[in-house]
Amino acid sequence: MPIKTPSSRQRTLPIETLAPRKRAKANGYEPISSVWEKSDGELIEAMLDFYPTIKPEPILDATYNAGRMWKGSKRDVWSMDVDPQYNTMIVGDNREMIGVPSEKFGVVVFDPPHVGPQGRDKSVKRFDIDFGATMECGKEHGWSLSYLYPPFLKQAKRVLKPEGLLLAKITDMVNSHRSRWAHCDFMRMAEEAGFTVCDLIVKIRTGPMLSTKWKMAHHARKRHCFWIICRNGDSCERFTDSRR
């Protein structure tokens, strides 16, 4: 698959060195909170500042869509999406990543669909469009979207450099009257794929996802998602080169 030459909108010049972290306290590091109430973009920047042990760029966003998480960012981001309307550098399925070079990226970002089609009318409901609810998750899939993860994880491990990071935004959902614990599935599957799952950050939204079609609630409306931090290596300790 051809990979487009990046435009100024899609990519910026790479940052050659990882900027030193600010020293917030006498203990020598600036902590990151396990609960986050700001934007995804701000959280990604905080994670890119906190977790890497190698230069994080170039970064592959394997679910780029319209690139909202990168608005205002100067990071060297390679955009990938299966939908050609977004004019990404790479148009393709992130479960295959045809033509994407191996061991190229310091970070892969993954924000998959969080819910499946809701209700009988799956073609025109605005809820489905707004929340990306287009991937099937019926009985044959165990009423979940977790079947999307293993093929993606295989490709993510291939294209990441050793010690590179996988940052995944995962939200649990309710389907067929049961809670489906997607973040648990993802962490287990990531370990099975050879990643080390290092951390979990709870990101709080301003309000739960709602639809006017729902008449009765049986579960708490979810106002949070999880950002899962995985390393393409055996350790979560952030050693510098001098300590390796």
pLDDT tens digits along 201-239: 999 987 666 656 667 777 667 777 899 999 999 999 876
pLDDT in the model for residue 8: 44
Phi, psi (5° rounding) for residue 85?
Answer: -65, -20
**SS3 at position 153:** helix
CA distance 37 to 1: 38
Domains identified in the chain and CATH numbers: 35-209+219-243 (3.40.50.150)
Phi first, then psi: what are they for 119, rounded to 5°?
80, -175
Q: Where does the pLDDT of residue 17 fall: very low under 50, low under 70, confident under 90, or very high at 90 and above?
A: very low
Residue 56 has pLDDT above 70, yes or no: yes
> Are 103 and 36 within 8 A, CB to CB?
no
**Secondary structure (3-state) at 94:** coil
Go through the chain and tell me how many residues it has: 244
Q: Is the pLDDT of residue 15 over 70?
A: no
What is the pLDDT, as a whole number, of residue 46?
A: 96
Confidence at residue 40, expressed as pLDDT on a 0 to 100 scale: 94
Q: Give the pTM.
A: 0.76
Q: Which position has the higher pLDDT, 107 or 206?
A: 107
Cβ–Cβ under 8 Å, residues 6 and 89: yes
Least confident of 11-25, 53-67, 90-104, 207-221: 11-25
144 neighbors 179 (Cβ within 8 angstroms): no
Distance in angstroms (rounded) separating the CA atoms of residues 183 and 113? 13
Over residues 111-121, mean pLDDT: 61
pLDDT of residue 181: 75
Q: What is the pLDDT of residue 125?
A: 42
For the segment 22-51, what is each residue's pLDDT rounded down to a tens digit?
A: 444 545 668 899 999 999 999 999 999 999
- Strands 105-110, 178-180: pairing is unpaired
* pLDDT digit string, tens, across residues 147-203: 899 999 999 999 999 999 999 999 877 655 677 778 899 999 999 999 999 999 999
From 71, 67, 52, 8, select the one nearest 166 (Cα to Cα): 52
The answer to whether residue 244 scores a pLDDT higher than 50 is no
Q: Which residue has the higher pLDDT, 80 or 28?
A: 80
Name 62's bridge partners.
Answer: none
CA pair distance 241, 47, nearest whole angstrom: 19
